[in-house]
Every structure is written in structure tokens, then in C-alpha cells.
A and B are shown apart, each in its own frame.
Chain A
Amino acid sequence: MTDDAQPVVELKNVTKSYKSGKTEVRALRGISLTIPAQRFTMLVAPSGSGKSTLLNLIGCIDTPTSGVVNVAGETIANFSDRALADFRAQKIGFIFQGFSLIPVLSVYENVEYPLMLTRVPAVARRRATLAMLEAVGLSEQKARRPNELSGGQKQRVAIARALVKHPEIVLADEPTANLDSETGASIVALMRRMQSQSKTTFIFATHDPHLISQADRLVAMRDGELIQEPAHV
């Protein structure tokens, strides 16, 4: 696959440092990177190499120590906390390693939740939620609470929640880490299918070989730095 798509993420000489006790940890050291739209991009690195930190910056839930982060055409440093929250609600979907579903909401309500944040009218919200549950194969379980679901089902709910608002970018941090290999494979297949339907940009932080095999593009990291030019699969 060629890399002629418009970049949806641009990082210019981004550094990120934080204090861990009295020690300053330099998690990212001058990262410059562009990520094209509508691709399956994998950040691949051993644990502690800074891939989650990089994902957090792209997801606008953290700010760089220095450098510029542009996401979906916007420079996130220009945003207030409130504007950033609205930006995330509109443009970015998240899939977490631990699923992070809201336990007091049903499957349906969890998927509907992002649409409520963006004030989608009730009728459109219901239609979109049901369609997304249908797409991830959870129509029958829509009334259940997260604690009544298997790990694979929970991650399907998380995928549906991330995609229901048609975001520009979906960020997934180790989405298969808490799943057995068979379930993980089915989740990867589902995400691949959803991506091809929605043309959404998926960016993963992972070291799951099966997931890596699905990548359109690989970004390898070590010790907070890119160790090679982005590879196209």
C-alpha cells in the first residue's frame, strides 16, 4: 500500500518528559512523524519505549514538553482543556487495553454515550447505536451490563463505542493484550473490517504479532525514538 494519503497526524520534533519521583524520565526524544489518513498504523515497540505516551499525545489526552502535535488539521497546543475535550469527543475514538467500559451503563448505553456527548439527536443516536451493535454482532446483548460479557464481547463494545461517532482517528492501545489468541484474532478481523468500511484512521500501540500482520504501516520505536523510517507493509 502506498503512503499517498493525506496525513491526519503530524508530529514535529516532539519531546515528552515527566518526573518519576526525583528522576526525570524522557519518554519521547524528538519524534517527528506523519501518519496518513484511512490506514491501519501500528506503533511497535517493547514495553517502556514510549509508544503509549506517543499515542496519548496523538489522542490529545496529554501535551508534549516541546514540539508540535497536529491532529486532524488542528494544532492541539492552541486548544483550551474544554476545547480539547470537545475535539476528542468529535474527532477521536479510543479502544483501551482493559476495555474501560462504563460499568453502570448497558452495552447499548455504552455505545450511545459518545453520541450523547456530541449532542446527536435522540432518533439519529438510536439508529446509529443499533447499527453499530449490529455491525459488531452484539445486538442480542444490548441490554446487558459489561460485567455480564466475555472479554471479547467487551472489546467489541469498546470498538463499537469508538466508531459510532465516525471519528477521524481511532486509537487503540494494546487492544488484544487482555484477550486469548482466538478472541484477539477475531477482534483484529473485526477492526480490519470496520476500518475498511468506515475508512477511519486506526493507530495502534501493540506488540501482538497477529495485529502487526494486519498493519498498513509500521512505526517502530525504542527508548523514546523512532528507530527506522515508517515501514509500509
Chain B
Amino acid sequence: MFKIAFRNVFRNTRRSGTTVLTNAVGAAALLVFAAYALYDVYVLQTVTVQRGGHLTVYAKGFFDFGSGDPAVWGIADYASVVSVVSEDPVLRSLTAVVTPVQFLGGIAENPENSGSRTFFATGFVPADQARMQRWNEYGVGEGLENTALDSEDTSRGVIGLGFARYLGLCETLHLADCPKPPESRPQRGNGEVASLPTQDFSALAEPGASASSTPHIDLMAATSGGAPNIVALNVGRVEKQGSREMDDGYVVMNLKLAQQLVYGRGERRVTGIILQLRRSEDVEKARARLGRLFKDRHLNLEVRDFREINAYYGQTENFFRSMFSFIAILIGIVVLFTVSNTMSMNVMERIDEIGTTRALGVRRGKIRAQFLLEGSILGILGASLGVLLAFAAAAAVNHSGLSWTPPGDAHAIPLKLYLLGASATIVAVWLMLILAATFAAFVPANRAARLPIVDALRHV
């Protein structure tokens, strides 16, 4: 039966060829999109995990109620929590980095020109941050822009380009794409306020903190006790961030400096403990293990994964998923109509032959199976050719030197189609097209099987 079906497919080479090519182009388009979407999601995941790890441990309730006041929701004796996590045999095999982190917000001022701006900052252990930025599970991390802290100088930090612009640091730092404010810019307040002496927070800073020759800014925040505190941050580097909102208030600093600002001379805590795993697929396993450890030790902590923390990540995944489903449905419909039309023509042209074979003793079911098989062969050929076309397209794009800027990033990276990583999708698309083609052949096949033999033999 397979031999006859295969030969029948090539009986009308042009028609079958057109059908196969249509299916192939559809399959290739779907796979190229899947490869693009996968690469995009992998880049986004790599950026997210390099910056914030897979899992973050917070004081219980912080995620829902404490993010506006991270100083109050600190984890006390965090070093023992870090050591519990680091020394657990299960987690040790899963994690690449376990590091404390401090989030904070406040007001920053440039003492040189009185510009001020609210900021939101993260304090990292520089060596741990450097290790986190080496995470590259999917091989897409090359070329991604990373924040680099200085381990030697705790007062050195990184700020966003927009933040530098607000604080009037463009000229001092010789920044490109950083416009000066217009000379006719509006001035705040009335004459009484304007006549007050300019505030200089630097007097509050720790002695010697601003001794560096690099430009510095003053960061002011409320301590966990509610008192105002201030530290000087040497601007070691300016990095443009992907979103303007983030760029305009972005500060990354050494954990010690962040703790100094938030806790002053009080007990040093941290907002969270980041776990970066070796593989993203272990997120649930690690999360479950952390939950058990904290429960056993009566630690009042909660664990959140990177999807919960970065809502944008999940939204991007869902967007690509829905786009893929939409394109798949469209291509499925095209395949259905194309194969159905081809198979209907095949049945029409072979009515006499159907009558002959039925007269010779072929059962109805076998006639039906024969045409379904022909439909599925069209599907197999189209889907297989589509996979080859997709690989050819991916190779062409990957070697084209094209670049693009991923969502949430500020710098262009090479455009790649990650088709090899989409092996499950390739199999799914391949099977889906074959099923669609077989399904499309069902109506013509059924019509062929139900033809009265005498009528079929009489057909000219």
C-alpha cells in the first residue's frame, strides 16, 4: 500500500510539488519564528539570571508588602542563612552562586552642581556579581552588556546614563548621547526658597569617603531605624539601561556601601539572598529544597523565582507563545486546505481506478487508508522539507552579521535563530503538519471509500 501511495503522490508531480512546497514554506516559517522566539527568550532569561539569579530568598512577606521599604524587611543573620544554603548537599550541586543582596531607594545629589534625583539601587558582593554574569546556559550570553563592580574600592559604583544626565554628570564624565539641560529650564519654587543656601549633603558622609579623584555623588536614604543617612558613591562607570524608567534611577554599588547607607552603624542585614542555579530547569527542585530547609530550621523566609520577580519575563514568554500558536493555526489552516484540495483532485482523477481496485476485492477501509496515507506522505515530505529550509534559513541568518537590541536591553547583540535548541518544537511542528495533512485527506479519502463500485467503474 505504501508503494502505491508513494507513487500516486508523484503521479502529478507539479500538483504534489506545489502542495509539498506550500507545506514546507509554512513549516519553515513556523520554525524560523520558533527559533527566533526561543533565542529571544533565552537572551532575556540569560540577562535576567545574570543580573538577579533564579531564586531570591526574602523575609516572609517582603515580596507582597515590603518592597517599598527594603531597609525594614532585612534578613537578620543572613550569613548563617547563606551558609545553610551553601552547605546543603542538594543545593550545592544545583547552585552556581549564592550571594546576599541589598535593595534600597533614596535621593541622590551631585554636590558639584546641585542636581538631585531619586534612585533605586542594588548592593552586590562584587566577586559574586562577576560570577553571576558568567552564567550562560544557552550559549547566548556573549556580547551582553554587564555591570562590573570594583572589588577593591567599596565606594565605587555604576549608574544609569539617564541618572547621570539628571545629576549633571555628562560633561564631567565625558558621556556621549547625554544632552545638557536647556539654559531656559524652569526653576523650582519662589524667591524665598531660591535664596536659601544650596544644600550640601557631603558634610554628612563618612570621613574620607569622597577623597577619590573620580566624580562622586551623594546618596541619601532613611536607615532601618528611620534616621537619615548619607554615603558618597564614586561613579566608576555609566551604563545605559534598556528602559528609560530604569535608566533614570539606576545605581549598582558594593553591598558594604549599601548596608552602610541603610543600616548605618546598626546590625547589617540584607534584603535578599540570590541563588543562581547551574540550570534553569532546576528552579522548582531548588525552590522545594529551600522551602524544606527553612521549615526545618524555623526560618521565617520566602522564596521567589525570577519569573515572579520579573513580570516582564513571563509576559514576553506568553507573548511569543501566543504569537507562535496564532501562526501555527494559520499555517495549519493553509495546510488543511492545500492538502484537501490536492487529495480531492486525486480522488476525482482516479475514480475509475478506485472502482477497479474495489472490484478486485479491496475493502473500503483500505481505499480510505490508501488516500490517508497519500495525504500523510504529502505532509511528511512538506514537513521534512520545511525543517531543512528552516535550518538553511537559520544558518543564513546566523552568518549574516545582523544585530538587534533585545527587549529590556540597551545594546545591540548579534541576531541568531536558535533552531538547534528548539528540537522539541521541530518534532512538534513536524508531527503537527503531518497530522494536519492526514486530517485534510480524511474527507476525500472517505468519499473515495464510499463510492459505489458500479458508478466508479462507469466514470469516464
For chain B, residues 402 to 460, give those with C-beta under 8 angstroms from any C-beta of chain A.
452-454, 457
Binds B, one of A40-48, A54-62, A65-73, A181-189: A54-62
Tell me the A104-147 residues at the B interface (CB within 8 Å). 104-105, 113-114, 117-118
In the complex, are the beta carbons of A85 and B363 less than 8 A apart? yes
Residue A148 lies at the interface, judged by CB distance under 8 Å to chain B: no
* A contact residues around B11 at 8 Å (CB): 103-104
Is A231 at the interface (CB under 8 A from chain B)?
no
Contacts of A74 in B (CB 8 A): none
Q: Determine whether the beta carbon of B356 is less than 8 Å from that of A96.
A: yes
Docked Cα-Cα span, A28 to B352, in Å, equals 24
Interface: A90 (CB within 8 A): yes
**In the complex, which of the residues B8, B353, B364, B452 contacts A85, with contact meaning CB atoms closer than 8 Å?**
B364
**A residues within 8 A CB of B360?**
88-89, 94, 113-114, 117, 161
Which B residues are CB-close (under 8 A) to A61?
358-359, 453-454, 457
For B453, what are the chain A residues with a Cβ–Cβ distance below 8 Å? 56, 61-62
User: B185 CB to closest chain A CB, in angstroms?
Assistant: 83
Asked whether, in the complex, the Cβ of B352 is within 8 Å of the Cβ of A98, the reply is: yes
Give the chain A neighbours of B279 by CB distance below 8 A. Answer: none
The proximity string for B residues 1-19 relative to A, scoring 1 for CB distances below 8 Å and 0 otherwise, is: 0001001100100000000
Interface residues of A in 143-175 (CB under 8 A from B): 161
CA distance A208 to B456 in the complex (A): 25
Docked-complex contact B359 and A86, CB < 8 angstroms: no
User: Is the interface on chain A under 10, 10 to 19, 20 to 34, or 35 or more residues?
Assistant: 20 to 34
B362 at the interface (CB under 8 A from A): yes
Residues of B near A161 (CB, < 8 A) are 360
Contacts of B454 in A (CB 8 A): 56, 61-62
Known: A61-B453, A61-B454, A82-B364. A102 touches B356 (CB 8 A): yes
Q: Are B358 and A85 in contact (CB under 8 A)?
A: yes
In the bound complex, residues from chain A placing their C-beta under 8 Å from that of B457 are 61, 96, 100
Does B361 interact with chain A (Cβ within 8 Å)? yes
Residue from B8, B355, B361, B365 with most neighbouring chain A CB atoms (10 Å): B361
Q: What residues of chain A lie closer than 8 Å to B357, measured between beta carbons?
A: 102
Contact A117 B361 (CB under 8 A): yes
**Within the assembled complex, what's the spacing in Å between the Cα atoms of A86 and B356?**
14
Q: Distance (Å) between the CB of B378 and the closest chain A CB?
A: 16
Q: How far is the CB of B448 from chain A (nearest CB, A)?
A: 14
With A103-B11, A104-B8, A104-B11 as contacts: A59 and B359 at CB distance below 8 Å: yes
5 tightest CB-CB pairs across the interface, nearest first?
A89-B361, A104-B7, A100-B356, A61-B453, A88-B361
